[in-house]
A and B are shown apart, each in its own frame.
Chain A
Amino acid sequence: KQEVTQIPAALSVPEGENLVLNCSFTDSAIYNLQWFRQDPGKGLTSLLLIQSSQREQTSGRLNASLDKSSGRSTLYIAASQPGDSATYLCAVKQNDYKLSFGAGTTVTVRA
């Protein structure tokens, strides 16, 4: 059974600092890995999706890397802003339709 772990569980940084969020998974036979953002009490917004054949994806200030062989992904958020405060979820998809989620990292960016 795939296990997805996100460290740290919570993170507080001053505005302008770069954020580094970690995700690890136990079964490297994945189809893709996705990073989501969730605001309090809200649904999930997809940020970046990395296919198993890719090493990284970038969107604006966000960059996600994938090292499938070691079972790790990292989400980098450059020059953090208070609006980046949210919970970030990592999910891996294996060769079926099921997504396995981590418990998330809750980020607070202090103005």
Chain B
Amino acid sequence: ETGVTQTPRHLVMGMTNKKSLKCEQHLGHNAMYWYKQSAKKPLELMFVYNFKEQTENNSVPSRFSPECPNSSHLFLHLHTLQPEDSALYLCASSHETGSVEQYFGPGTRLTVT
């Protein structure tokens, strides 16, 4: 248990659906991250928030829309996804963006049909 929780753990959605992934950290951290992990590929950083402000958008398609209402919560809103977006989506947090360690949640396994 790392102190970072993600819901749902599994999600199956059609290409026309709209859904949201939720991440919550109980560590008092100020930075939160979304990563995408596709099969047999390295983790890819998607978005970074520091003190609720987005500091990184790693050329992510607009069908992925992040939201960070406060330092403890991070959402990833999904709409009109493609089958190639099927992956494990991992959330992480750290004290600040320059901190030594990031703490990872268990991930949401997303399948787009």
Contacts and interface: CB of A to CB of B under 8 A. Distances in A.
Interface string B53-93: 00010000000000000000000000000000000101000
Given A41-B88, A97-B94, A97-B98, 11 more contacts: A4-B42, A42-B107, A43-B2, A91-B43, A96-B98, A97-B48, A97-B99, A99-B102, A103-B40, A103-B42, A104-B42
A34 B2 CA distance: 16
A-side interface mostly? strand
B47 to A, nearest CB: 12
User: In the complex, which of the residues B4, B97, B102 has the most CB atoms of chain A within 10 Å of its own CB atom?
Assistant: B102
A98 interface: yes
B104 A43 contact: yes
Interface residues of B, number: 26
B42 A43 contact: no
Given A43-B106, A97-B31, A49 B100 contact: yes
A73 B55 CA distance: 30
Nearest to A103: B42
Contacts of A98: 45, 56
A104 B41 CA distance: 8
